[in-house]
Amino acid sequence: LFSPSPKPGGDALGVLRDVFGYDSFRGQQADIINHVVAGGDALVLMPTGGGKSLCYQIPALVRDGVTVVVSPLIALMRDQVTALRQLGVRAAFLNSSLGLNEAREVERAMVAGDLDLVYVAPERLVTERFLGLLERTTLALFALDEAHCVSQWGHDFRPEYLQLSVLHERHPLVPRIALTATADAQTRAEIAAKLQLEQARVFLSSFDRPNITYRVVPKKSERQQFLEFLRENHPEDAGIIYCMSRAKVEDVAQWLNGQGREALPYHAGLPAEVREANQDLFIKSEGIVMVATVAFGMGIDKPNVRFVAHLDPPKSLEAYYQETGRAGRDGLPANAWMTYGMADVVALRQMLEQSEAADTHRRVERGKLEALLGFCETSRCRRQVLLNYFGEAMPEPCGNCDTCLDPVETWDASVAAQMALAAVYRTGQRYGAGHLIDVLRGNATEKVVTMGHDRIKTFGVGKDRTKQEWQSIYRQLVAAGFLTVDMEGYGGFRLTDSGLPVIKGQQPVQLRRDHVVEKRRSVRDSL
């Protein structure tokens, strides 16, 4: 099965050209590859479609020995190994889809050095059997793909990833490269800490996906709105629709088929064969719409997905970025479209508050949800808000999102912003929106009275606005960067440097009108 033909060897650029057939490296690929080939550890943060795979595949062919790639996705392993073999690279995978004999043959080839790359599922890698095999193998590199799976806050958490530090403990001299398309500072720090990669060089690429047009529309009639979007922009294209529940996935898929668009459902409640068949069809055919829960998508390599639509908002901006990132991997124009309404917000909040999670966890989740809502409600360039969330500065509005293309109606919120920030400041920069809104609206709750916040100047100055309006104002102030949420502490707001001129009344603030108005109406409707 595995011919003992030698590695192509030679230099990285030669391998890129001779084996992969590309002319030149992209972005930071060359730096990353040189660093790893020289034996350094690397933490690579690169957006989906950025070209992460070559960052370990080329070192695997240049360095002596076998590269072990840890990947959580069986479908992805299979696709990558098939593609590599077609290029003449000696690659194989080990996961639960292999029979015993096949697995033994791969293990034998690995120990014999007849393979350049072995893809392994994390649960198999951490077995004593496999670790024993590694002791007898000449190792070139460990590649830890989808490294954000180590993060307990993210929705892709894989407990086995926590055990991957064993690789470094047992093989301290083998370089490691961890890769992910999740870029927020918190996940990054968690990856470094949990995988013992504090000393690794960090390669942070820009997370901008300039070919994706972002749009978020207030929900009126989601199906009608979506249908208009679809007919106008994507009458024949492949795309993905994300929904929150399995039942809704089934419903929407059926409805779309009734509208004359071929649509397939995908969620964790479907039998594995159905899921696999639907996924294969989606990837191989043109023009199919996949209606799915978050269970769909990680590792799906279909370059010409032209749109990603959210009929329900995702849980966080990380999730939004990941999910919308599946559109336009070929670099051609693509759409990220979302409808969002008050009922969704209420549902997400309830899910959060009712979850069994520990308080600290819930606090982090709450902060993430607020950031997402701030993004939905912003009157600023969406790309600026999104990249800013990932710690990337973008000086100019992008010109390729709804708020840039059709500026929204705003109102002069300078005074309201001043009040909102003053409430934060005068209560010691420690509290979240709930308490601050009580103070602003003059609710003498037990907490307000105990803290003496009924005696500060801000108490009651915001009576004339509803709780929902103030919530929207706070979210927009966070999205605009005037406030930050203290995620390490208790999730309270703190003023930023750019918030200071606002509180002093030196800088006017414009906030968007439509959502505030819509909120009032929907809240009344829901009563």
Taking the complex as a whole, the smallest distance from the CB of residue 370 to Zn ion amounts, in Å, to 21
Minimum CB separation from Zn ion for residue 399, in Å? Answer: 6
Q: Which residue has the tokens 């994300």?
A: 242
The answer to the question of residue 46 lying near ligand ADP (CB under 6 A) is yes
**DSSP letter (8 states) at residue 276:** H
Provide the minimum distance between the beta carbon of 382 and Zn ion in the complex, in angstroms, as a whole number. 5
- Of positions 12, 43, 49, 109, contacts ligand ADP by CB under 6 A: 49
**DSSP-assigned states of every residue in 169-212:** HH-TTS-EEEEES---HHHHHHHHHHTT-TTSEEEE-----TTE
Residue 49 binding target from ligand ADP, Zn ion, none, CB below 5 to 8 Å by type: ligand ADP
404 binds Zn ion (CB under 5 A): yes
d(CA 376, CA 370): 10
* Alpha carbon distance 430, 392 (integer Å): 26
Instruction: Compare residues 25 and 242 and give the one whose CB is closer to ligand ADP.
Output: 25
Stretch that binds ligand ADP, among 19-27, 34-42, 111-119, 315-323 (CB under 6 A): 19-27
Q: Is 86 left (phi over 0), alpha (psi -120 to 50) or beta?
A: alpha
To the nearest whole angstrom, how small is the minimum distance from the Cβ of residue 286 to ligand ADP? 18
Instruction: Tell me if 4 sits within 8 A of 66, measured CB to CB.
Output: no
Nearer to Zn ion, 275 or 383 (CB): 383
> If contact means CB under 5 to 8 A according to the sort of partner, which of ligand ADP, Zn ion, none does residue 296 touch?
none
The answer to whether residue 52 forms part of the interface with ligand ADP (CB under 6 A) is: yes
Find which of ligand ADP, Zn ion, none residue 26 binds, CB within 5 to 8 Å per kind. ligand ADP
Query: Alpha carbon of 122 to those of 52, 131, 159, 509, 522: distances in Å?
Result: 19, 11, 9, 49, 46
Chain residue at closest Cβ approach to ligand ADP: 51
Burial of 91 (0-12, 13-18, 19+ CB in 10 A): buried
- Provide CB contacts within 8 A for 278, sequence distance 6+: 264, 265, 266, 270, 290
Q: Please, are residues 413 and 427 in contact by the beta-carbon 8 Å criterion? A: no
Rank residues 50 and 122 by Cβ distance to ligand ADP and give the closer one. Answer: 50
Please pick, from the candidates 12, 264, 319, 398, the single residue that binds Zn ion as defined by CB under 5 A: 398
**CA angle, 504 as apex, 501 and 507 as ends, to 5°?**
45
Binding mask 355-384 for Zn ion (x = CB under 5 A): --------------------------x-x-
Could you say whether residue 51 binds ligand ADP (CB under 6 A)? Answer: yes
Residues facing 179 on adjacent strands: 44
Could you say whether residue 53 binds ligand ADP (CB under 6 A)? yes
The kind and range of the H/E element at 439 are: helix 433-441
User: Which of 12, 37, 45, 54 forms a contact with ligand ADP (CB under 6 A)?
Assistant: 54
Closer by beta carbon to ligand ADP, 51 or else 481: 51
* Minimum CB distance to ligand ADP smaller for 49 or for 491: 49
Residue by residue, what is the 3-state secondary structure of 375-386?
HHHCCCCHHHHH
322 is a site residue for ligand ADP (CB under 6 A): no
For residue 92, the surrounding DSSP H or E stretch is strand 91-94
Given 17, 26, 104, 504, the residue binding ligand ADP (CB under 6 A)? 26
| Contacting residue, 28, 48, 279, 322, with ligand ADP by CB under 6 A | 48
* C-beta of residue 192 within 8 angstroms of C-beta of residue 199: no
22 binds ligand ADP (CB under 6 A): yes
Site residues (vs ligand ADP, CB under 6 A): 22, 25-26, 29, 46, 48-54, 301
Site residues (vs Zn ion, CB under 5 A): 381, 383, 397-398, 401, 404
